[in-house]
Each structure stands twice: as C-alpha cells, then as structure tokens.
Chain A
Amino acid sequence: MTAELNSPPVSEYCEPARQTNTSARQLCDVLVVGGGVVGCAVTRRLALAGAHVILAEKEADILEGASKGNSAILHTGFDAPPNSVEQGCIADGYREFLEIQSRLNLPLVKTGAMVLAWDHEQAARIDAIVAKAHANGVKDVAEISTDAARAQVPALGTGFTRAVHIPGESLLDPWSTPLAYLHQALAHGAEFLHHCEVHTGEFDGNRWRVATSQGELQARWLVNSAGLYGDQLHHQLIGEPRFRIRPRKGQFLVYDKSANQLTDTIILPTPQETTKGIVICPTIFGNLLVGPTAEDQESRADASVDTATLSRLKSVGESIVPGLKEHSITGVYAGIRPATDARDYQLEADSKRQYLCIGGIRSTGLSAALGIARRAAKLILGDQSAADTPDSIQWPSVPQISEAGQRDWMRPDNGGIVCHCELVTRREIKNALLGPLPARSLSGLKRRTRATMGRCQGFYCSAELSELTQGHLDCPLGI
C-alpha cells in the first residue's frame, strides 16, 4: 500500500554531491581540464605513459558538453582538409581505435558509408571528393554506380545521380568509448574530479597553481580541453586566445528500432564547407538517426530542440529514405559543436608556460580523440610517450550495451529487465551506480545503460528506476 507522501522544500531538489577537498592533494604532473571525449583520451594517453594525471570536470559526470550528443560515427577522415591537424588526428585516432577496441570491450560496426549527390552542383563535386579521400590516405574510397548504391540500400529514394562508397566509416558507442578511456586511465593512477570547475590559474615558472570550485590544485602541466568553453578558459589562464568558439548546434531525430532495417549503411550527403549535412545513420544501439542540423548560436549550453527544425529533419529524412514515413520517432536531441572561425583544430603548446590548448574540436572529435591524445602526449612528455601502447598495461572492460555484441539480458542471472524497450537489466542499472565512475545524474545513467531511451521514454520503467536510483543521483527522479 502507498505510504504518506510529504513535500520537501523546492531548494532541496538538486544538491550536488560533495567530495573531499582538493587542497590535500599533492602536485600532479598534468591537470587536464574538461572531461569530454578529448579530455578522457588525453588523460588515458598520459596515464599510460606513466604520468600522474588529474582530470577536472565542472559537471557531475564526463560527457556533459559537446561529447553528449553526436552522430557516433567513427570517421576515416576521407573528407577532412588534407594535411590538416584534424586529418592527421582522425587517421591516427581511427587506427588506434581499431587496435584497442576489442581489448576495452568496445563495440564497432563497420557499416561503411555512401555519399550521394542529389543535384548537378553536388554531382560535379564527386570527383574531387574521391581525389581528396585518396590524398588523405583513405584509398578504398571509390565511386559506385547508382544501381550498386541502390542494391546496397534498396530503401533509398530516387533522384540521386552519383554515389561514392567509403567502406571504412563505422559506428561506435559514443558514451562507453570515452568512459572506457577514462576507466583505463584510472586503472593507471589517474584521478577524476567531478563538480570541479577551473576558474583561474597562474604558472610560477615551475608549476601551475589553479583555483577551482574545489580549492587549489597544483600541476606541472595544464591541458585545456574545455571544449565549448576552451576560449574562455584560455582567457582566464593565459590571456587573449587566438580562436573564438562559435557554438554550432545540431538537432537529431531518433527513429524506433524497426527503422533500423531500412539501411545498414551510413547515408551521407555531399559534404559542404561548414557541415557534413543531414546524415541518415544507423546506430550501434539498433536505431536510426536523422540529423544533425548546423545552427550557429551564441549559447554554449542551449541544446534545446524546436518543432519546426525537427519537422524539417523529418521531411528531409523522408525524401532520402521514403520508408521512414512508416516508422515512429522515439527520441529527439541536440548536440553543440565547439566550432571556431578557423578551418582546423586549434592545437597549441606553450612549453615555457607548460600549457597545452586543445581547442575547436568541432565535428570529428570522437574519431580523432585518440590521435589528439598522442599529439598531446608528445608535446608534453616528448617523443617516447607516443610509442605504441606497452604490453604491461591494464585493460579494464566497460559493460557492453550495444546491439553489436552480447547484452546482459542474454546472460544468466541478470536480475531481470527494468527498461523493457531497451532491455536494460537490474544488474546493469546497479553496476552503473557503483564503481569508480558511477552515474550521478539521470543522463549519466542513460549513457551508461540506455535506460529510458527507448520508444516509451519511461512510460513503463520510470517508477522502478526512481526506486533503484534513490540516494545515488544529485538530482533524484522522485522528490
């Protein structure tokens, strides 16, 4: 029977969990500021090289910034500007991901992608796209006939005149991947501080003294991987940055699992200067994405969606794959790219001040993160740091939540299902709330388990989740 409910004052809603004061900490080798995918990868690489690293993140969890919402494609870099830092980092990142992915229990699905040209102007650019891919070392990119494209994806609409196949483009798990990087870093002595916002800092010729929301931290080197706030942080630490972040929002539609059968290949439009355009993309969780848009905005935090744009995405999607009309939308979201005025990443080391800025990692950071991390380590620790991963290192594995491998519900004694749409088990929820990097928010729990992300959006599981998460979340489901 139901117990009496009484109402707590509103101010008690969101009390951030406190952690031990940082002032007791010793001097560390490197302080990495910003727990996006880039910060996680950099922390990993430095820790593997033997450095003592602290990762400071202002939010309750990693991946609350640009890395929260993306298309989850592992790019080959076929369309990156040749000889750019970005292209080099994507190529290196791609290679290393393939090497380490199975050891970290991270899924990868080699779907391949197709670029389609829908008008004369786009068709005229196809030869250049193939040439650029080859210049970037992605040699298996080739034009295919429109019949071959249609044979691969019979659900395609009509009207495209040329097609390019990029066999290497793949899908990954956008959340478990950075989480695994950080787990491995922690296994090698790195520390993670959440709710730790870096305000200002000073380099005294020997060490950084950094003022944070958790007290002072000291470090030999400081890495700015603050993503959407990279220019602001640079300003607070060093002075005028050479780049300005120009936040660029991308909205998405997520279609229900039944739509996944429409294509097992990523469908890309002909790339433009500022954006890759609207992509139709299967996800590793068995859904289908349509998006993202490219909307310049002032706010670095406003990831709101709007009805008009979502409806437009729906019709663009349906014009490329008409069969989408018969499938339902289960989710919508938006991500914000840390774009800049420049066309390349802003990777800049100041060895006098022992400061490295990794700015403007706009639309390929998930793919490039491991490559960026190698460059960062080389700049900070010198050449030997970028040597290949030694054999003696630890490989903690993260839970496998994608459809590309075995899920927990397929295994004995899983404790039963909590989220029916995404088949998330009680054991998975419990595990995500424990361990060295527990979920402290509902969004963190979603990223670790997929709970509530399915077609019912919590119709069936909210109550049980609310009970299971009691005492674990900064902002509880029930008040």
Chain B
Amino acid sequence: MSAPAIQCDVAIVGAGPAGLGAAIRLRNSGVKRVVVLEREAAAGGIPRHCGHPPFGWPEFQRILKGPEYALRLQQAADAAGVDIRTETSVVQIEPGPMLQVTTPAGPAQIEAARVLLATGARETPRSARLISGTRPMGVLTTGALQSMVYLKSQRPFMRPVITGTELVSFSALLSCRHAKIRPVAMLEEHSRPTAWRASVWLPRLLGVRLEMNTQLIAIEGNDRVSGVLVRRGENSVEKIACDGVVFCGRFVAEASLACMGHIDVNPVFGTPVTDQFGRCSDARFFAAGNMVHPADTSGRCWHDGITTADHIVQSLAGNLPSPNNAIAIESAEPVIRYVIPQRLSVDPRPAKDAALCVRFSSEAKGTLHLKVNDSPIVSKRVRARPEKQVAVALPDDIFSSKPKRLKLTFEPSC
C-alpha cells in the first residue's frame, strides 16, 4: 500500500440516498473536495434494485421507482461536482481520518478532514435467525431477491414463501410479481401485520395467501428448498411445499467498518454511537442514514444525510462544541430497540428542532419519559409499533449544561 493517499475534505462511504444527499449538500455549502466511495459498480444504494415505487417524494416531489430515483440522485450529485468513485470498497477506517480502500486496480488510501459513514443496513438472514433445517439453495433476503430479479433478470425460485409483514415484505411480493414468481404464502408470526393493517390487501390483490399466527420453524430440501415447516397457534406443525424462502426485514446496521475499527458501536443496537450532530466517538467521523437507524425510507435517509452534512460544515469551520463534554442517554428498557442520538454533547447554543428518535422492539402503549438527574423533563404518550419511529421533541435549552444523568424510561399503561 505504497501509492500516495488521495486527499479530500470530506470522504463519504456509501452512495445511497444518505451519502449522496449529504455529498450534494456539502458541495452546495462550498466544501471543495467531496469524494463518495461506493463499492458497487453504480451509485444509488439500495433503491437501484427496488424496481417499484414509492421513492423520491421529499427529494424530487415525484413518485418514482427505485432505479429512476437512484439515477436522479446520481445525476444531481454529478451536477453538484461530487467526485463519485464506484467499485471502491472501504475495507478499514483509521484515525486521521484515513481510509483503506480497494479498487479493481488494487488497494489505495484516502485521507480526509472528515468522514461520513453512510453504509446502510441489511436484512437478517436465515442463519442469524437460528432457523432449523437443512441449508439448501433458494433461501434469500429481499435485497438478494431484488438484485437478482431487477439487476440480472434472474429467478432464484418459482414458488417461495415470504416471511414477515414489514414494509419490505411487500417489496418482496412486488418483486416476485415482476419476475412472474408466484409466492405460495406470506407468513406472519403475529396476529396483526407489522406494517399498516391495510397492507393485508396487497397479498390478497396479488392472489397470495396471507397466513397470520404462523411461524416458519424449519426448512427442508437437499439441493433446493422442497418445503418449510410452520407452527400454527400453539402446537400444530404443518408442512408447506415450496421451492424457496424469502426472509424479509429485521434490518441491522451495515456497521462492520465501525465494529472492526476504532469507533464505538452500541453493542445492543449494533449502530455507531452518535451525538445530536451525527458525530461518532471519533469526532472526525459522522454517520447518517440507515446505518444509524435501520431501517427507514429513502426520503428520511436522504434528509438525514443533508442534516448531517450541515453539521459537518460546522465541524470543518470549528463551530461544533467539544465532543468531550457529552453524556450518554441511558435506556435499559427491553421494549426500546434504540434511541438516536445515544449521546448528547453539551452545546450553549439553542437547539433548534432537537428531537430524540425512539424505536420499539415490540408493540407498546404508554408514556416515554426523558429524565434529567432522575426527574422527567419531557414526557410523551405513545402507541408504538416495532416499525414506527417515535420522535420526542426536546426543549431548546436541553444541551446547555451537562446533567449528571440522562435516562429514557417507558411506563406502560394498562
């Protein structure tokens, strides 16, 4: 690794909506050398292979399919003078900041004044769900299914089952339809769909059986999937014949660079620890998009990229408060999946539109309290569902002095 390092002001890892949104904003704010590093052959992130709407409303005031949206983002970045380098994988982050990358031509190094990590999120595959059974071909996540169907016109199976009823499960349905794949059934463990209640109409419209209270417990088949075992209710186990399984959702942050590097990662959420500026434990690194809150819509990730870009501009100008004066938000509630940011840096300036973003791991009804030194300063009644983000607005002076303790609690109502 001897070639001289490439120098830039801000290096952005990941050319998805968050990374490109940030890059465009940085350029428009006068930052000169903005380089986006993307490991795929084209910029655009996940939308590149989501050949269905809705994308693009907040950004372009249009409803677009994923690939059209990705193309527009990339064109906007080009027009803004962003230096996008595709087929460039960041393999390691180091203090400096210094990035070790590899390209088809070989390894290289990139030095930047600031780094933005915008590497997205991925779905939980079969292995990490510890599902029983054999390990045949034809067991995929939605992301893998989509890229096969939309990018390569290939079909991994003809009659799969689809698991889960998150939003992304409906993407799986649409992707199947596009490729003339006919799912045998859509399985949901719980008694109501994870996404909105009305979503049950989509499988019905497409002629796919939606089976509630049905849990996939095992996969059968040698070379390819021959069927799955499902548990219905308490103890009835049944076999469904099929030739594939799509595991949808249960997104986790694609935070391996942070996990393997010097940046703090919250062990429970798997996301990098950030403050209200999107700043990591190494204050020259920032994070935005799905890797901070897996998983959101592209519009929100794009918006998060823009907000974080504004903070990076301030950071470059030396206007952000010291990161050393930060306090962690404690939250030991099992129902709280994550809260963002996880730390607050003390900042004498009035906080504008400051909010905590809270996500729940299961359905819950009750009151969220943010407690400063054990007395609640903000309370919010919530009816939470796992896929829904809850924003808790913070008072203007929240950051002005350093409290001893900051704690987020949840009080269930009956």
* Chain A interface residues (CB < 8 Å from chain B): 2-3, 5-7, 10, 13-14, 254, 256-258, 302-307, 310-311, 314, 325-326, 328-333, 409-417, 420-421, 423, 426, 442, 455-460, 462-464, 466-467, 475, 477-479
Q: What's the minimum C-beta distance from B175 to chain A, rounded to whole angstroms? A: 11
Give the residues in chain A near B131, CB-CB below 8 Å.
Answer: 307
Q: Considering the complex, which residues of chain B in the window 113-153 have a beta carbon less than 8 Å from any beta carbon of chain A?
A: 122-123, 125-128, 130-135, 137, 140-141, 143-144, 147-153
Known: A458-B144, A460-B143, A475-B137. A328 touches B252 (CB 8 A): yes
Give the residues in chain A near B127, CB-CB below 8 Å.
Answer: 254, 329-332, 457
Give the residues in chain A near B268, CB-CB below 8 Å.
Answer: 326
Is B156 on the interface with A (CB-CB < 8 A)? yes
Known: A456-B125, A457-B126. A462 touches B156 (CB 8 A): yes
Give the residues in chain A near B107, CB-CB below 8 Å.
Answer: 409-410
Give the residues in chain B near A416, CB-CB below 8 Å.
Answer: 41, 87, 103-104
Which residue of A7, A311, A415, A475 is within 8 Å of B223 (Cβ)?
A475
Known: A305-B133, A462-B148, A478-B156. A13 touches B103 (CB 8 A): no
The 5 closest A-B pairs by CB, nearest first: A478-B154, A412-B106, A457-B125, A326-B267, A463-B147
Q: What's the minimum C-beta distance from B213 to chain A, rounded to whole angstroms? A: 18
CA distance A412 to B102 in the complex (A): 9
Residue pair A478, B148 in contact (C-beta under 8 Å) = yes
Give the residues in chain A near B154, CB-CB below 8 Å.
Answer: 5, 463, 466-467, 477-478
Give the residues in chain B near A421, CB-CB below 8 Å.
Answer: 256
Q: Which residue of B lies closest to A412 (CB)?
A: B106
Interface string of B19-54 (1 = CB under 8 A from A): 000000000000000000001110000000101000
Q: What's the minimum C-beta distance from A85 to chain B, rounded to whole angstroms? A: 33
Q: What's the minimum C-beta distance from B222 to chain A, rounded to whole angstroms? A: 8
Give the residues in chain A near B122, CB-CB below 8 Å.
Answer: 455-456, 459-460
A-B contact pairs, 6 of them (CB 8 A): A307-B132, A413-B104, A416-B104, A417-B89, A477-B156, A478-B155
Q: What's the minimum C-beta distance from A408 to chain B, rounded to whole angstroms? A: 10
Give the residues in chain B near A415, CB-CB below 8 Å.
Answer: 104
Q: What's the minimum C-beta distance from B280 to chain A, rounded to whole angstroms? A: 16
Residue pair B260, A257 in contact (C-beta under 8 Å) = yes
Which residue of A256, A412, A462 is within 8 Å of B105 (Cβ)?
A412
Give the residues in chain A near B223, CB-CB below 8 Å.
Answer: 13-14, 475
Residue pair A455, B256 in contact (C-beta under 8 Å) = yes
Q: How large is the interface on B (under 10, 10 to 19, 20 to 34, 35 or more residues)?
A: 35 or more
Give the residues in chain A near B180, CB-CB below 8 Å.
Answer: 5-7
Give the residues in chain A near B243, CB-CB below 8 Å.
Answer: 10
Q: What's the minimum C-beta distance from A206 to chain B, rounded to whole angstroms? A: 40
Q: Which residue of A lies closest to B149 (CB)?
A: A2
Residue pair B144, A463 in contact (C-beta under 8 Å) = yes
Q: Which residue of B lies closest to A3 (CB)?
A: B153
CA distance A257 to B255 in the complex (A): 12
Give the residues in chain B near A455, CB-CB below 8 Å.
Answer: 122, 256
Q: What's the minimum C-beta distance from A179 to chain B, rounded to whole angstroms? A: 21
Interface contacts beyond A303-B134, A307-B131, A409-B107: sample of 17 additional A-B pairs, CB < 8 Å, sorted by A: A13-B223, A257-B256, A258-B256, A258-B260, A302-B134, A304-B132, A304-B134, A307-B132, A329-B130, A409-B102, A412-B106, A413-B104, A414-B104, A459-B123, A460-B144, A462-B147, A477-B148
Is B299 on the interface with A (CB-CB < 8 A)? no
Q: Which residue of A lies closest to B104 (CB)?
A: A416
Which residue of A2, A329, A442, A457 is within 8 Å of B150 (Cβ)?
A2
Is B320 on the interface with A (CB-CB < 8 A)? no
Give the residues in chain A near B49, CB-CB below 8 Å.
Answer: 463
Q: What's the minimum C-beta distance from B266 to chain A, rounded to whole angstroms? A: 9
Give the residues in chain A near B270, CB-CB below 8 Å.
Answer: 328
Residue pair B132, A329 in contact (C-beta under 8 Å) = no
Q: What's the minimum C-beta distance from B35 to chain A, rounded to whole angstroms? A: 18
Is B303 on the interface with A (CB-CB < 8 A)? no
Q: Which residue of B lies closest to A329 (CB)?
A: B128
Q: What's the minimum C-beta distance from A252 to chain B, rounded to whole angstroms? A: 11
Q: What's the minimum C-beta distance from B348 to chain A, rounded to whole angstroms? A: 35
Interface SS majority for chain A:
loop
Give the residues in chain A near B150, CB-CB below 8 Å.
Answer: 2
CA distance A256 to B254 in the complex (A): 12
Give the residues in chain A near B147, CB-CB below 8 Å.
Answer: 460, 462-464
CA distance A414 to B106 in the complex (A): 6
Give the residues in chain A near B153, CB-CB below 8 Å.
Answer: 2-3, 5
Which residue of A14, A302, A307, A479 is within 8 Å of B155 (Cβ)?
A479
Residue pair A409, B260 in contact (C-beta under 8 Å) = no
Give the residues in chain A near B149, CB-CB below 8 Å.
Answer: 2
Residue pair A459, B148 in contact (C-beta under 8 Å) = no
Q: What's the minimum C-beta distance from A191 to chain B, rounded to whole angstroms? A: 26
Give the residues in chain B near A464, CB-CB below 8 Å.
Answer: 147, 152
Interface string of B231-260 (1 = CB under 8 A from A): 000000000000100000000101010011
Is B332 on the interface with A (CB-CB < 8 A)? no
Residue pair A307, B130 in contact (C-beta under 8 Å) = yes
Which residue of B51, B135, B144, B217 is within 8 Å of A462 (Cβ)?
B144
CA distance A420 to B153 in the complex (A): 21
CA distance A414 to B89 in the complex (A): 13
CA distance A2 to B154 in the complex (A): 9
Q: What's the minimum C-beta distance from A320 to chain B, rounded to whole angstroms? A: 18
Q: Which residue of B lies closest to A423 (CB)?
A: B91
Give the residues in chain B near A458, CB-CB below 8 Å.
Answer: 125, 140-141, 144
Interface string of B296-336 (1 = CB under 8 A from A): 00000000000000000000000000000000000000000
Residue pair A14, B141 in contact (C-beta under 8 Å) = no
Give the residues in chain B near A256, CB-CB below 8 Å.
Answer: 256, 259
Most buried by A among B141, B158, B259: B259
Residue pair B152, A478 in contact (C-beta under 8 Å) = yes
Residue pair A10, B158 in contact (C-beta under 8 Å) = yes
Is B157 on the interface with A (CB-CB < 8 A)? yes
Residue pair A306, B137 in contact (C-beta under 8 Å) = no
CA distance A10 to B157 in the complex (A): 10
Is B224 on the interface with A (CB-CB < 8 A)? yes
Most buried by B among A254, A307, A463: A463
Known: A13-B224, A304-B133, A416-B104. A2 touches B51 (CB 8 A): yes
CA distance A158 to B144 in the complex (A): 42
CA distance A461 to B317 in the complex (A): 40
Q: What's the minimum C-beta distance from B268 to chain A, rounded to whole angstroms? A: 8
Give the residues in chain A near B267, CB-CB below 8 Å.
Answer: 325-326
Residue pair A463, B148 in contact (C-beta under 8 Å) = yes
Q: Which residue of A lies closest to B129 (CB)?
A: A307
Interface string of B208-238 (1 = CB under 8 A from A): 0000000001100001100000000000000
Interface string of B161-190 (1 = CB under 8 A from A): 000000000000000001110000000000
Give the residues in chain B near A460, CB-CB below 8 Å.
Answer: 40, 122, 143-144, 147
Give the residues in chain B near A5, CB-CB below 8 Å.
Answer: 153-155, 179-180
CA distance A328 to B251 in the complex (A): 13
Which residue of B144, B217, B218, B259 is within 8 Å of A459 (Cβ)?
B144
Give the residues in chain B near A414, CB-CB below 8 Å.
Answer: 102, 104, 106
CA distance A258 to B127 in the complex (A): 17
Give the residues in chain B near A409, CB-CB below 8 Å.
Answer: 89, 91, 102, 107
Residue pair B224, A475 in contact (C-beta under 8 Å) = yes
Which residue of A7, A306, A333, A456 is within 8 Å of B135 (Cβ)?
A333
Q: What's the minimum C-beta distance from A70 to chain B, rounded to whole angstroms? A: 16
CA distance A458 to B41 in the complex (A): 17
Known: A310-B130, A459-B141, A462-B148. A417 touches B39 (CB 8 A): yes
CA distance A6 to B122 in the complex (A): 29
Q: What's the minimum C-beta distance from B10 to chain A, rounded to whole angstroms? A: 22
